[in-house]
Amino acid sequence: MRLLNAKCSKLTANRLPLGIYISVPFCRTKCSFCNFASGVFSRALFDQYVQQLCSDIESSGAIARELGGLLDRRVDSIYLGGGTPSVLAPDQLKRIFETVRNTFDVERSAEITVECAPGTITGEILQSLADCGVNRVSLGVQSFIDKECSSVGRLHTRAVTLDDIARLRAAGIGNISIDLIAGLPHQIADTWQTSLSETLATGVPHVSVYMLEVDEDSRLGNELLAGGSRYHAHFVPNDDLTADLYLAACERLEKAGVQQYEISNFARPVTHGFGLRDSRHNLKYWTRQPYIGFGADAHSMLPATAELNARGIEAVRFATPDSLESYTSAGGRVQQLLASRSLIDREAALEECFFLGLRMNRGISFSALQKQFGNDVVETYAPIFAELVEAGLLEKPASGLRLTPRGRLLSNEVFARFLKTSSPRTTLA
Ligand code: SF4
């Protein structure tokens, strides 16, 4: 393909400082809809896990070299996700942040986010978040209707959520994001509107709205696929209603000035990033900026070393095992990561630009693509663009492409059209 012969693009161009993702796979209970590699584990394991995590952070320079990645020491975002990081003990949280700060140069203005489940933010945890420099909290609210929360195994209520938000603000952490799920058992249009009203009334600057995923990796998903009634499966809205709830959220949030900037993400205006109170960390994923992940089931993408670059490789992606047992098993971290490594050549990088760039409401810019991949890139993909525009899934703003509202609902189908040409290579050609 001619694209491969175009001059080598540089992932290094306009490269931002590194983002760090840290996975904490521990939860108080396992939500019935959850398909993440997280679970309820004995507290005795927490310390072993934190020790392993800190050891990996300290070894990150050597690990990156072995994987063929360039690791920037400058860090402008840290994201502790999971799982529920707020179930860790305060001293465990402090050890993680101390290790990060001792290993990397964390910028003073870095965005430092911790995911918390409402009801887990004790006074001690709140103090340690503030002591660790955490300036953003992502709250897994999912719904403001108590019955909907309890039906999926969440332990919090509306009152607990509102109290947590007030306490976070009183502690100086006003940059709060609320997660909501469309498609929970018992949810109907009215209760969904109530959750949206409550969310807007809090005035939080960021909201994420996800549609319930139905797959065999969660108990609820399994039950739905089997047509059963455990886990309130028979009270789950059908696909059409779930899609309507999602679209209603897009409309309602937008009208209230909480603008959609990505398929699942909405933010109030400020003056950074897209001019919105967006998630700096997540923007790194969608704009293909470097990040490194630590802990179980943590993914990384780093620019390739000059040696790999000379062989047509732009970036390396790798991930840790998703099982806690494999992650904490002694030794072999580099071998584990090498086994998962994908070498991203120019074609794979181009595909990523399509399916990551289209996630964002601003879409992809033809001139940016041409600058990076050569003038013929738009022509090469023109038939796919035309087909998706014809199907009403993509639209053409002035000089690029973006998903239509319907395209956002069917985004996986759209992205699949850009994965036909090749997939990321796992070995050197
Ligand atoms: S708290 Fe989050 S990570 Fe934990 S089980 Fe529930 S949805 Fe999954």
Give yes or no: residues 418 and 272 share one domain.
no
Peptide bond into 227 cis (omega under 30): no
What number does the ligand 1 atom closest to the CA of 38 have? 3
Q: How far is the CA of 154 from the centre of ligand 1 (A)?
A: 9
CA dihedral (106, 112, 116, 122) positive or negative:
positive
Q: Which among 283, 313, 333 is the end of a domain?
A: 283
Q: Is 211 domain-assigned? A: yes
Listing DSSP states for 213-263 in one string gives: P-STTSHHHHHHHHT--GGGGGGSPPHHHHHHHHHHHHHHHHHTT-EEEET
Query: Which of 324, 336, 339 is closest to 53 using CA atoms?
Result: 324
pLDDT tens for 184-201 read 999 999 999 999 999 999
Give yes or no: residues 270 and 379 share one domain.
no
Q: Is 392 domain-assigned? A: yes
Per-residue pLDDT of the chain (429 residues; tens, 9 = 90+): 333 333 334 444 568 899 999 999 999 999 999 998 899 999 999 999 999 999 999 999 999 999 999 999 999 999 999 899 999 999 999 999 999 999 999 999 999 999 999 999 999 999 999 999 999 999 999 999 999 999 999 999 999 999 999 999 999 999 999 999 999 999 999 999 999 999 999 999 999 999 999 888 899 999 999 999 999 999 999 999 999 999 999 999 999 999 999 999 999 998 555 567 888 999 999 999 999 999 999 999 999 999 999 999 999 999 999 899 899 886 788 999 999 999 999 999 999 999 999 999 999 999 999 999 998 999 999 999 999 999 999 999 878 999 999 999 999 999 999 885 444 333 332
pLDDT tens for 292-324 read 999 999 999 999 999 999 999 999 999 999 899
Q: Is 335 domain-assigned? A: no
Give yes or no: residues 271 and 400 share one domain.
no
What number does the ligand 1 atom closest to the CA of 27 have? 4
Q: What is the dihedral of CA 55, 16, 290, 116, to 10 degrees?
A: 60
Give yes or no: residues 139 and 254 share one domain.
yes
The rounded distance, in Å, linking the Cα atoms of 154 and 195 is 15
Give yes or no: residues 355 and 255 share one domain.
no
Q: How far is the CA of 7 from the centre of ligand 1 (A)?
A: 44
Give yes or no: residues 353 and 270 share one domain.
no
Ligand 1 atom 3 nearest Cα: 83
Q: How far is the CA of 143 from the centre of ligand 1 (A)?
A: 14
CATH number at residue 63: 3.80.30.20
What number does the ligand 1 atom closest to the CA of 117 have? 1
Q: How far is the CA of 422 from the centre of ligand 1 (A)?
A: 34
Q: How far is the CA of 122 from the centre of ligand 1 (A)?
A: 18
What number does the ligand 1 atom closest to the CA of 115 have? 2
Give yes or no: residues 243 and 127 share one domain.
yes
The rounded distance, in Å, linking the Cα atoms of 163 and 116 is 13
Ligand 1 atom 7 nearest Cα: 34
Q: Is 174 domain-assigned? A: yes
What number does the ligand 1 atom closest to the CA of 82 have? 3
Please name the residues in contact with 153: beta carbons below 8 A apart, sequence gap of 6 or more.
29, 30, 31, 32
Query: Which of 403, 310, 329, 392 is closest to 364 using CA atoms?
Result: 403
Ligand 1 atom 6 nearest Cα: 31
What number does the ligand 1 atom closest to the CA of 34 have? 8
For position 214, what pLDDT does the model report? 87
The rounded distance, in Å, linking the Cα atoms of 406 and 172 is 39
Expressed as residue numbers, the domain containing 168 is: 10-283
Please tell me the number of Cα atoms within 13 Å of 394 on its side-chain side: 27
The rounded distance, in Å, linking the Cα atoms of 25 and 348 is 30
Q: How far is the CA of 114 from the centre of ligand 1 (A)?
A: 14
What number does the ligand 1 atom closest to the CA of 30 have? 5
Contact in structure between 210 and 180 (CB atoms under 8 Å): yes
Which residue matches tokens 């089997």?
A: 226
Give yes or no: residues 243 and 379 share one domain.
no
pLDDT tens for 370-397 read 999 998 999 999 999 999 999 999 999 8
Task: Give the residues surrounding ligand 1 with Cβ less than 6 Å away.
Answer: 27, 30-31, 34, 36, 38, 82-84, 117, 140
Give yes or no: residues 76 and 177 share one domain.
yes
The rounded distance, in Å, linking the Cα atoms of 306 and 369 is 22
Give yes or no: residues 273 and 351 share one domain.
no
Q: How far is the CA of 221 from the centre of ligand 1 (A)?
A: 14
Please name the residues in contact with 269: beta carbons below 8 A apart, sequence gap of 6 or more.
257, 259, 275, 276, 277
Q: How far is the CA of 34 from the centre of ligand 1 (A)?
A: 6
Give yes or no: residues 236 and 360 share one domain.
no
CATH number at residue 398: 1.10.10.920
Q: How far is the CA of 396 from the centre of ligand 1 (A)?
A: 38
Helix (H, G, I), strand (E, B) or coil at 401: strand
Length in residues, the chain: 429
- Number of folded domains that form the chain: 2
Q: Measured in Å, how far apart are the chain's first and last C-alpha atoms?
A: 15
Q: Is 407 domain-assigned? A: yes
For position 8, what pLDDT does the model report? 38
Q: Which of 26, 80, 84 gets mutated to test ligand 1 (max ligand atoms within 8 A of its CB)?
A: 84
Give yes or no: residues 363 and 276 share one domain.
no
Ligand 1 atom 2 nearest Cα: 83
Q: Is 418 domain-assigned? A: yes
Q: Is 328 domain-assigned? A: no
Q: How far is the CA of 119 from the centre of ligand 1 (A)?
A: 13
The rounded distance, in Å, linking the Cα atoms of 322 and 304 is 24
What number does the ligand 1 atom closest to the CA of 153 have? 6
For position 427, what pLDDT does the model report? 37
The rounded distance, in Å, linking the Cα atoms of 299 and 290 is 11
Q: Is 212 domain-assigned? A: yes
Whether the pTM exceeds 0.85: the reply is yes
Q: Which among 242, 266, 283 is the end of a domain?
A: 283
